[in-house]
Amino acid sequence: MPFVPPILENVVMDPSKFGGPATFRGLVQRNHYVKRYQDYLRKNKTIVMNIYYDKDDQQEKEVFYHFQFPSDANPQVIYDVVLRFYAPNSVVREEETLRNYKIQIFSNSPGFTFQFAYAYNKRKLLIEDLRNKFSPNVLEKEPQKTNPNNAIGYDYTVFFALYHLHINQDYLKKAVIAAYAGDIDKFEMDEIPTAATVYQRRSQKQLIDFDRIKKKAERFGDKVQKKIEKIVTPFLPGTNRSNHQRKHGALNGNGGTKSRKGTTTTKAQKASKAVRKHGYFK
């Protein structure tokens, strides 16, 4: 039986409905993902989210939601989750919401990378433009230890993104998207860190060592810099996260974003230590 790409409401509370073995049936309840989401929101007050689509396309054939969540292991490390909604036909494309749009998913968190990326890629659930964020081994070698049945499930980062849209249906309305979303050319996918980069940055010791290495480079000049580049290769591309977030901008109550062309954001909330508190409009 051919695999049928899912819509949001089919899968948000039961990842086994993505297709394939039902190994992860009940995953949401067993891992208390809903409570975990609620605890996260109480702690962080907001969800960092950007929305993008092609503003020249009046029917919104595809819409991207870009979320950013701090790592549980180290809040200084940010995981990216991207949801792509796309219209399977002209009838769905003319609807006023994305409720019946098909979805594809990406996350660079280790939980998603080593457990689900292979299965998602095999069933074409992985966002095509972000496949290069995983190493060939991740996409071509079956995860025999972490997911021997190649079942479709999700880690907490993907659940947070799906569930956030599930309980905030206004985000799926095309009128809201047109008012708040940024143009697709502001979504710089190339600057999303690879899964390998994020994994290397997860350790606090590695973060400290990386900062120390950069300070040495500044102190001793270009000669030392060349030697250091060999050491920090696992962390590249070498853009720090705050720069990455500033380039992306974030959705806020007035829809302001910062684009690559240098336009400024509207006034936003103060940043927490882990992430900027932009992106959640009520």
b/e sequence 184-195, b meaning 16+ C-beta within 10 Å: bebbebeebbbb
In eight-state DSSP terms, residue 249 is -
**Residue 85 in domain:** yes
Q: Give one DSSP letter per residue of 85-105, joined into a string.
A: EE-SSHHHHTSSBSTT-EEEE
Q: Assign 143 to helix, strand or coil.
A: coil
Rounded-to-integer distance, Cα 158 and Cα 108, Å: 10
Quick one: pLDDT at residue 267?
A: 37
**Residue 72 in domain:** yes
Block residue for tokens 């950013």: 68
Q: What's the number of domains the chain is made of?
A: 2
One domain for residues 161 and 27 = yes
**Residue 132 in domain:** yes
One domain for residues 212 and 101 = no
What is the pTM for the complete model shown? 0.71
Rounded-to-integer distance, Cα 269 and Cα 221, Å: 37
The parts of the chain modelled with pLDDT lower than 50 are: 1, 210, 214, 217, 220-225, 227-229, 231-282
One domain for residues 104 and 28 = yes
Quick one: pLDDT at residue 30?
A: 65
Q: Distance of CA 42 to CAs 47, 93, 171, 251, Å?
A: 11, 36, 20, 20
Structural domain for 212, as ranges: 200-236
One domain for residues 162 and 220 = no
One domain for residues 71 and 182 = yes
Rounded-to-integer distance, Cα 9 and Cα 145, Å: 30
Residues 176 and 168 sit within 8 Å (Cβ to Cβ): no
* Sequence-separated (6 or more) residues with CB below 8 Å from residue 57: none
Quick one: pLDDT at residue 193?
A: 93
One domain for residues 158 and 209 = no
